[in-house]
A and B are shown apart, each in its own frame.
Chain A
Amino acid sequence: MPENILLNAQEISLQFDQRLVLQNISLRIAERQIVTLIGPNGAGKTSLVKIVLGLISPTSGKVERRKGIRIGYMPQRLQVDQSMPVTVGKFLTLATNARSMETSRVLEEVGASALIDSQLHSLSGGELQRVLLARALIQDPQLLVLDEPAQGVDVNGQAELYRLITDIRDKHDCGILLVSHDLHLVMSATDEVICLNQHVCCHGHPEQVSNDPAYLELFGRKDAETLAIYTHHHNHSHDLAGEIVDEGHNH
């Protein structure tokens, strides 16, 4: 595995009973690289994330991680039973090796210092996402895996959250694997996009992917609304991504 590669997954396939969930997927994440996984519901995004994290094993294919790599994981959802009293501060110290000094540092980093004594189950969607991000950061990860980090966050909050994620990459020099179901919001924050629908439909720079017929077909057919948003953003995409891409697809 080359020096700067954090994670290299090769020809991953996953089968549940008779159903093929993932087919022949390769994925690699380098230091400081933000890779975004997009795809419709049921495309196998979360399954792929679980394989990358080592939570489930693929039916075939292999995953190499850099030796001793520290991975920070932000799960899609956290449901706290009402019967369980937990403060945000306590929740953060549950991550192995966490000390209280680190707790306040990561909370400040995600802009949630005021929440340290709040009860976990009383947080709003956006607050909870920030706290989960803080927990992923507390071990100073080399690779951050964020599964739909903007879930339950309003549109303004989402833009802010993605800005925060880019800042985190710059500050911690970590690689990031991001899962999202819409490209237009993460476009500016990402280096590489993988469009997934059981197999890799297309991948490359966000600009390329958003013009790729496979991407258009997938989202145009399955989700008219996303296409509408996409079309709108397409007009401004140079501003969002900040550069013009003229190389061909690497399909």
Chain B
Amino acid sequence: MADFILRALLSGLLVAAIAGPLGCFVVWRRMSYFGDTLAHSALFGIALGLLLEISLEASVIGACALLAVLLVLMEKRRGLSTDTILGILAHSSLALGLVIISFTDNQVNLMSYLFGDLLTVSASNLLWIAATCIVVLVLLLLNWNRLLAITLHEELAQVEGVHVTRMRMLLMLLIALIVAVSMKVVGILLITSLLIIPPACARAYARTPESMAIMASIAGCLAVCGGIMASWFWDTPTGPSIVVAASLLFVIGRLLPAGEKL
């Protein structure tokens, strides 16, 4: 098999495996609009990276993290709903990104950022993705029970000694990291689907948060394999094919009779 396919497969599987458990939190805490907002700000990160001529990976991660912090700070001020704040941040960062890109001399292929470019993943891209995924996985495992506790009841968790604001910030930063590396896989416009469709597939078959997280990882990996295969055989765009495969999995899961839950 060609090297580029192997690299594509590996980075897709890594991202999908981590997006599964993290996506569960997005679903449980109803944060899908937050994922969208982060994805939009990723384009701002790209623009900034091009303008300052620094590593695009670093600038995207920086932009996403900055937005996560901004959101936590803005949420504390009352007056506007989170929904509205997200809308403002999402669209102003996207628009700002597009405006900044128009100032740079680079010939930028916007499509590859909007819909992903998995087949052009380079060895250094893969290294970034792998390193980010490992960091996210370790932090997620170390804080798993605390994150579950704040998802179920924040005040109860706080009385029991969990640092709620710190955990909330951590979760947002982890999602920011995974969004930043998913951009290469499915693109800005489709990132949220990678976070929410696999957990949605898993929900009907899970009895515990852990089993739902693992099944979501598996569903995500199946979708990545399916998407890359479709792209290989029928020359379809890879990112959208992965999302279509995930949606198909979801539909099939709904049609199958519900069996024993795990």
**B residues within 8 A CB of A155?**
none
| CB within 8 Å of B: which A100-139 residues | 119-120, 135, 139
Specify which of A78, A83, A93, A96 is in contact with B152 (CB 8 Å cutoff): A78
A83 touches B159 (CB 8 A): no
Measured in the bound complex, the distance between the Cα atoms of B31 and A206 in whole Å is 47
Q: From residue B202, how far is it (CB to closest CB) to chain A in Å?
A: 9
Known: A75-B153, A94-B148. A85 touches B160 (CB 8 A): no
In the assembled complex, which residues on chain B have CB atoms less than 8 Å from the CB atom of A91? 152
Answer whether residue A55 sits at the interface, using C-beta atoms and an 8 A cutoff.
Answer: yes
Question: Could you mark each residue 20-36 of chain B with 1 if its beta carbon is under 8 Å from any beta carbon of chain A, else 0?
Answer: 00000001111000000
Q: List 10 A-B contacts (CB under 8 A).
A: A53-B155, A73-B159, A78-B153, A81-B29, A83-B28, A84-B27, A85-B203, A85-B207, A120-B152, A135-B156
A87 touches B149 (CB 8 A): no
**Interfacial residues of chain B within 122-159, with CB under 8 A of chain A in the complex:** 145, 148-149, 151-153, 155-159
Whether A119 touches B159, Cβ cut-off 8 Å, given contacts A84-B151, A91-B152, is: no
A229 sits at the interface (CB 8 A):
no
Q: How many residues of A contact B (CB 8 A)?
A: 26
Contacting residues, chain B, for A50 (C-beta < 8 A): 155
Q: Cβ of B158 and Cβ of A96 under 8 Å apart?
A: no
A84:B28 contact, CB within 8 angstroms:
yes
**Residue A90 lies at the interface, judged by CB distance under 8 Å to chain B:** yes
Do the beta carbons of A95 and B160 come within 8 Å of each other?
Answer: yes
Chain B residues, CB < 8 A from A9: none
Contact B156 A86 (CB under 8 A): no
**CB pair B145 A87 closer than 8 Å:** no
Contact indicator A139/B160 (Cβ below 8 Å):
yes
Q: CB-nearest residue of chain B relative to A72?
A: B159
- Min distance, Cβ A143 to any Cβ of chain B, angstroms: 11
Cβ-based interface call for A71 (8 A): yes
Whether A80 sits at the interface, judged by CB under 8 Å, is yes
Given A84-B209, A87-B208, A90-B208 in contact, is the A75-B160 Cβ separation under 8 Å?
no
Complex Cα distance, B159 from A71, in Å, reads 7
Q: In the complex, A124→B188 CA distance in Å?
A: 42
User: Contact: A83 with B156, CB < 8 Å?
Assistant: no
B160 proximity list for chain A (CB < 8 A): 73, 95-96, 139
Complex CA–CA separation, A100 to B206 (angstroms): 21
B212 within 8 A of A: yes
Whether A87 and B152, one on each chain, are in contact in the complex, defined by CB atoms closer than 8 angstroms, is: no
B211 interfacial contact with A, CB 8 Å: yes
In the complex, the answer to whether A87 meets B156 with C-beta atoms within 8 Å is no
* Complex contacts, B156 vs chain A, CB 8 Å: 73, 75, 78, 135
- Residue picked from B29, B207, B212, most chain A C-beta under 10 Å: B207
- Given A94-B145, A119-B207, A139-B160, answer yes or no on A85-B212 (Cβ-Cβ < 8 Å): yes
